Structures are given as C-alpha cells and as structure tokens.
C-alpha cells in the first residue's frame, strides 16, 4: 500500500506538503526514496529552526562582554615557559609513541568556492607533481607513524554526497601507502535547504535538497559511526583535527599535543596573529569566563579595530581551524546520542524544482542552509588551551581558485615552506629581488615531515643548490 496519506499527514502538520506534489508521477522506487528522506526528518524540531533562523532576521546574538582570549605565544616568554614547552614536546612525542593520538580530517564540505568537480581532498595542489590534498596528509601521516614507531589512524569525515568518490579515490591510490585499516571513513549528517518562505526545497521530484550539516556535525557523527568506540579499543585518547583544504598543516604536532595534555585541556586550538582587524578568521574571545570563537562577520567592528597601547590588535587571535580534541570530551558531549550546537545560517544559491516541475538554477541566493561549527564546542569544555602557531608553517587554506586563500596562494606557501626547510639544511635557494623563491620546489611529505627529515635527506643526497627556474620534486 502507498504511504502517501501518512507522509501527507506528517508534512502537512508543518506546512511542508509541497514535498509531495509530484507523488503521482513517481515510480515505486522514487516513492521509496522520497519517503525515506521525509521519514528521516524531525519536522517539529526543524519547524523551530526555520522559525528562528529562516523566518526571523535576528539570529545568534553576540555577547556584550567579549574580551580577548589568552594564549600560549609562539616563542616562550620566559625560562619557565621555555621549560614547559620542552616538557610538552616530550610529552607529545611520548603520546605519539604510545599510539594515543589519531588524525581527524573534515572533508564533508562541498568546496563550492573552489569550483572543483570532485571531493576537495582529491584536488591536485602540489606545485610540481600535482600531489593531491589527501596525498599530502596521507604521506605525512605515514611518515609520522614511522618517526614515532606507531602507525597513526586517520579518521576522515565525508558527507553522503562525496563518500563514495572519496573512498574510490583512496582505493585507486592504494591508500597512498597507508594500510587500508588505518583509514576510517565516516559520514556526517545532512540538513534540508529551505526557501526564504520557510518551505523545504526539492532537488528532484523525488528527493529533497540536502546538504552537509557543517563541521560541527563531526562530533555526533564520530559517535554514530562507531568511530569513538573504535578509538577507545585502539587506546586513542586524542584527535588531531584539521581541514581538508590546508595541506600546510602539521598532521600531528608534539608541542600542541603535549601542551593540551599537560594543561588538562579537553579541546585546544591553534591561533594565528591576524593580518588585520577584518581578516576572515574566527576570533578567539572570552565571554562569561568561557572561551568562544566568534565568526569574523559577527565581531563588532569597534572590537575588531580596537588596539592595545602598543598598537597591536586587541583581538589578535584568529582561528585557522586546527584543534586537539580529547576523545572523552566528545564521548561526554554526545552521550545519549544528542548534541546541540548552535546553528549558523548561510544564504546560498540552491537549485530547486519549481511548481511546474522544472529545475531552476538561481542566480542569487534563494535559500538558507543551516550548519553547525566545531568551534562552538569550545565553550562546552571544562578546560581549553590556545597555542600560537607560525602562519607560514601551518596555514595555507585552499578556498578559491585564485587570489586570497586560493590554490595559487597555497602553492606559493608550500614552495616557501619547503624552500625554508632546504635553506635551514644549508641548500642555496634562488630568490627574486623581492625575495620570492625563483623555482618550483616540492618536497614529498615522506622525506619532509619536519626540518630534521629534510636535513637528513639533503645530507644523504648531497644537495647543495637548487637551480634558478628549476621545477623539482624531492621524493
């Protein structure tokens, strides 16, 4: 029997019966598809969200008591801090050797700004070889495992939309030399897109327009997928979290891991000194005694521009989305299978099926997508820790094709980082009069996990100089 009546009752109670307007045209298979999508939705909860985030213009309010968050500086301020950093690095290495750390990459985003057809992690970013984003991380993770004598597991969050393509890519590339059981894929949740009138949109006559629910979905997805249980069995207590679009990130950093542990932090973050008041990075703030990251678009301009007596920005700390998270913290947050992080509204151009059954591709935003953000878990932690990172060695986001935060700027930063490693190892690097590297250089992460690796490689291969204009990859 057809389940139409039941579905109609369910949707009409919340004014969403338009989802069924092509029911009579659908095949049995298509009816099944649509009904299972509708069944998966908690319409009552969604109606609350729609009234709060779609039909109202006043969304998340910004606390009035924001002050800048404290952080550990890149260079220790005094002898005591120096000693702490040394101890922390040792502790981090110890935890890595004991196999208590795994990597976690969020790769469920749609990468719409990059405009690349395929999962973002499969994007060829290597300046010489076109090594992919996933390739960079995989080789680094492999090398880190060799270095610390313990293989690292790698948890990769995908969405329903890119899971299959991501897994296929890893299989085609033999997991980049990792053992297949080192890599664990898990899916995040989805949210339906909603028109400005509060009505959910159809992507086809038999399916809703669904999109990933934001990187905040990671925490619940880790529980639902069984990843947390798997980690507990493996003896993994800490997750080194990074985004798929940042190939410069150290996949594990002993200092960061060790400091997180010594400070008894539940969730930690790397901060970068912002390049200006309005740089598009979340801002580390304190409110009500808790650490909170406030989006760049939400920090009031007078705060963003306020300065210390020495002229530096008061709200200097920007977030490159690099975290250390304790497994127990995620277990506690998601116990009972629930976690409520605030939602954030994004206005997007979402193609949809109109009343006439035609696909409409809008030229301006027509719909709201709701996402939750991982950093909203920070205020929920009993203890947090923020450590300053060196921008040139940790952060090269690939958001756009050209310009700021683009594939182009990312490649330049990869070349510069690798050139610095080589220079530190005594290799002469050609530079232009403006100081830019005048060659294309790429170091395989297998030989360049860190400065020590590069020094060894340079010595073993007797490399003294890179020729001007060269295109060279050291594998």
Specify the pairing of strand 154-158 against strand 101-106. parallel
- The residue written with tokens 């954030």 in the block is 344
Q: Which of 112, 306, 332, 335 binds ligand UTP (CB under 6 A)?
A: 112
Kindly write out the interface string for residues 154-183 of this chain, putting x where it contacts ligand UTP by CB under 6 A and - elsewhere.
---x--------------------------
Q: Report the C-alpha gap between 293 and 174 in whole angstroms.
A: 38
Among the listed ranges 6-14, 30-38, 239-247, 460-468, the one in contact with ligand UTP (CB under 6 A) is 239-247
Among the listed ranges 110-118, 266-274, 383-391, 426-434, the one in contact with ligand UTP (CB under 6 A) is 110-118
Give the list of residues 6+ apart from residue 246 with CB closer than 8 angstroms, or none. Answer: 320, 321, 322, 394, 395, 396, 397, 398
Among the listed ranges 73-81, 112-120, 434-442, 446-454, the one in contact with ligand UTP (CB under 6 A) is 112-120
| Cβ(201)–Cβ(194) below 8 Å | yes
β-pair partners for 68? 285
Contact call for residue 91 and ligand UTP (CB under 6 A): no
Q: Which of 260, 274, 399, 440 binds ligand UTP (CB under 6 A)?
A: 399
Q: Report the C-alpha gap between 243 and 399 in whole angstroms.
A: 11
139 vs 213, which CB is nearer to ligand UTP?
A: 213
Among the listed ranges 127-135, 209-217, 294-302, 385-393, the one in contact with ligand UTP (CB under 6 A) is 209-217
Q: Report the C-alpha gap between 130 and 147 in whole angstroms.
A: 25
Contact call for residue 318 and ligand UTP (CB under 6 A): no
Count of residues of this chain found to bind ligand UTP when the rule CB under 6 A is applied: 20
| Cβ(244)–Cβ(166) below 8 Å | no
Give the pair of three-digit tokens for residue 174.
Answer: 């033999």
Rounded alpha-carbon distances, angstroms, from residue 4 to 23, 31, 39: 8, 9, 12
Q: Which of 133, 141, 231, 244 binds ligand UTP (CB under 6 A)?
A: 244
Contact call for residue 192 and ligand UTP (CB under 6 A): no
Among the listed ranges 62-70, 102-110, 349-357, 457-465, the one in contact with ligand UTP (CB under 6 A) is 102-110
Q: Mapping DSSP to helix (H, G, I), strand (E, B) and coil, where does residue 229 land?
A: helix
244 vs 447, which CB is nearer to ligand UTP?
A: 244
Which residue in the shown chain puts its C-beta closest to ligand UTP? 109
Q: Report the C-alpha gap between 154 and 146 in whole angstroms.
A: 15
Among the listed ranges 96-104, 141-149, 163-171, 243-251, the one in contact with ligand UTP (CB under 6 A) is 243-251
280 vs 428, which CB is nearer to ligand UTP?
A: 280
Q: HEC string of 99-129?
A: CCEEEEEECCCCCCCCCCCCCHHHCECCCCC
Q: Report the C-alpha gap between 308 and 53 in whole angstroms.
A: 36
Contact call for residue 249 and ligand UTP (CB under 6 A): no
Rounded alpha-carbon distances, angstroms, from residue 107 to 19, 82, 168, 179, 452: 29, 36, 14, 20, 30
Shortest distance (Å) from residue 439 CB to ligand UTP: 30
Q: Mapping DSSP to helix (H, G, I), strand (E, B) and coil, where does residue 35 land?
A: helix
Shortest distance (Å) from residue 271 CB to ligand UTP: 17
Give the pair of three-digit tokens for residue 149.
Answer: 């004598």
Distance of CA 473 to the CA centre of its chain: 27
Q: Which of 20, 46, 54, 106 binds ligand UTP (CB under 6 A)?
A: 106
Kindly write out the interface string for residues 6-45 of this chain, putting x where it contacts ligand UTP by CB under 6 A and - elsewhere.
----------------------------------------
Contact call for residue 409 and ligand UTP (CB under 6 A): no
Specify the pairing of strand 323-326 against strand 282-287. unpaired
Shortest distance (Å) from residue 274 CB to ligand UTP: 18
Contact call for residue 370 and ligand UTP (CB under 6 A): no
Q: Find the binding residues for ligand UTP in span 113-152 (CB under 6 A).
A: 113, 120
Q: Which residues bind ligand UTP (CB under 6 A)?
A: 106-113, 120, 157, 188, 212-215, 243-245, 371, 399
């Amino acid at each position: 029997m057809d389940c139409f009546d039941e579905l109609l009752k369910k949707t009409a109670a919340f004014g969403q019966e338009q989802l069924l307007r092509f029911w009579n045209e659908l095949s049995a298979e298509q009816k099944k598809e649509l009904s299972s999508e509708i069944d998966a939705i908690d319409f009552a909860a969604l109606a609350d969200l729609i009234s709060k985030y779609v039909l109202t213009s006043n969304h998340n309010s910004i606390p009035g008591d924001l002050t800048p968050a404290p952080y550990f500086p890149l260079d220790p301020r005094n002898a005591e801090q120096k000693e702490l950093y040394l101890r922390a690095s040792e502790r981090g290495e110890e935890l890595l050797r004991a196999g208590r750390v795994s990597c976690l990459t969020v790769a469920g985003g749609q990468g719409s700004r990059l405009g690349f057809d395929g999962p973002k992690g499969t994007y060829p970013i290597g300046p010489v070889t076109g090594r992919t984003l996933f390739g960079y991380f995989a080789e680094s993770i492999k090398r880190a495992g060799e270095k610390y004598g313990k293989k690292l597991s790698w948890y990769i969050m995908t969405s329903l939309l890119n899971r299959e393509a991501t897994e296929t890519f890893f299989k085609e590339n033999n997991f980049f030399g990792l053992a297949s059981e080192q890599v664990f894929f898990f899916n995040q949740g989805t949210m339906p897109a909603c028109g400005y009138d509060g009505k959910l949109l159809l992507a086809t006559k038999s399916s809703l327009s669904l999109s990933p629910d934001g990187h905040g979905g990671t925490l619940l997805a880790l529980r639902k997928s069984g990843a947390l249980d798997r980690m507990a069995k493996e003896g993994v207590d800490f997750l080194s979290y990074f985004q798929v679009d940042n190939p410069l990130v150290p996949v594990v950093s002993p200092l960061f891991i060790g400091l997180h542990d010594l400070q008894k932090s539940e969730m930690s973050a790397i901060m970068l000194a912002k390049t200006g008041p309005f740089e598009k990075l979340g801002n580390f703030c304190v409110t009500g005694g808790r650490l909170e990251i406030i989006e760049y678009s939400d920090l009031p301009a007078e705060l963003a521009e306020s300065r210390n007596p020495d002229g530096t920005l008061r709200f200097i700390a920007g977030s490159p989305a690099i975290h250390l998270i304790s497994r127990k913290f995620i277990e506690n947050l998601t116990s009972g299978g629930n976690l409520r992080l605030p939602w954030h509204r994004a206005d997007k151009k979402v193609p949809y099926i109109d009343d006439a059954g035609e696909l409409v591709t809008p030229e301006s935003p027509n719909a709201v997508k709701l996402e939750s953000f991982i950093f909203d878990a920070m205020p929920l932690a009993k203890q947090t820790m923020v450590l300053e990172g060196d921008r040139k060695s940790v952060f090269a986001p690939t958001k756009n094709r050209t310009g700021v935060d683009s594939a182009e700027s990312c490649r330049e930063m990869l070349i510069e980082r690798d050139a610095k490693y080589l220079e530190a190892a005594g290799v002469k690097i050609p530079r232009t009069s403006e100081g830019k590297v005048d060659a294309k250089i790429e170091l395989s992460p297998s030989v360049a996990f860190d400065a020590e690796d590069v020094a060894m490689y340079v010595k073993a291969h007797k490399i003294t100089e890179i020729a001007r204009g060269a295109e060279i990859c050291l594998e």
